[in-house]
Amino acid sequence: MPAKSKVSKIDWHECVKCKCLVIGRDLVKHAEDCEKDENCLHSCGHIKDECLHGIISPLTTKEVDGLNIPRSCRDNIVFVNPSAMKMCNIHLGKECIFNDQLIKIAWPSTLISPANIGIQEDLLTDLNCKSSDIIKLEAFTCITELASEVLLHPW
């Protein structure tokens, strides 16, 4: 019989005070943040209302090259851990809103910690951000209205 694959399971925990989802290794840090601040400004990555508030994890061109992503779409991709994608309802290859400013394509990568968001280094300057800043990523949902009536006019 073949050996079972060793897929590590990510444990998400919900904070009782602020209702954020936090990964197990950040529980102590998150609890300290919640105790200090009424507004719950967190210094660790977390998920709230299906939005990932992740720590920037810059990726070099060499690291991105190793991920076998087509060159034509590399500039439009942000890398997210599959566990965080599932918790935030972000789908592979679909658009997501990045820091309320840009629309990028979500791509899964287990190289990225669940509480982080992997972006290419050149995007840091475009966003005026630095490594270890916390940024927001959420699924892009386009609200469309259905037509109740369609009028056709002959030319």
CATH number of the domain to which 117 belongs = 2.40.40.20
Helix (H, G, I), strand (E, B) or coil at 5: coil
* Pick from 13-27, 46-60, 75-89, 120-134: least confident: 120-134
- Residue 7: which pLDDT band, with cuts at 50, 70 and 90? low
Rg of the chain taking only CA atoms, in angstroms: 19
Residue range(s) defining the domain that contains residue 132: 49-139
The Cα–Cα gap between 52 and 65 comes to 25
Residue 100 lies in a domain: yes
Residue 14 lies in a domain: no
Residue 25 lies in a domain: no
Residue 20 lies in a domain: no
Residue 135 lies in a domain: yes
> 83 pLDDT exceeds 60?
yes
The Cα–Cα gap between 49 and 140 comes to 14
Distances from the Cα of 107 to the Cαs of 38, 119, 139, in angstroms? 34, 10, 12
Q: What is the pLDDT of residue 96?
A: 92
Q: Which H/E stretch holds residue 85? A: helix 82-87
As a whole number, mean pLDDT of residues 45-63 equals 90
Residue 3 lies in a domain: no
Residue 31 lies in a domain: no
Residue 30 lies in a domain: no
Domain count, the chain: 1
* Pick from 67-71, 107-111, 116-120: least confident: 67-71
The Cα–Cα gap between 141 and 127 comes to 22
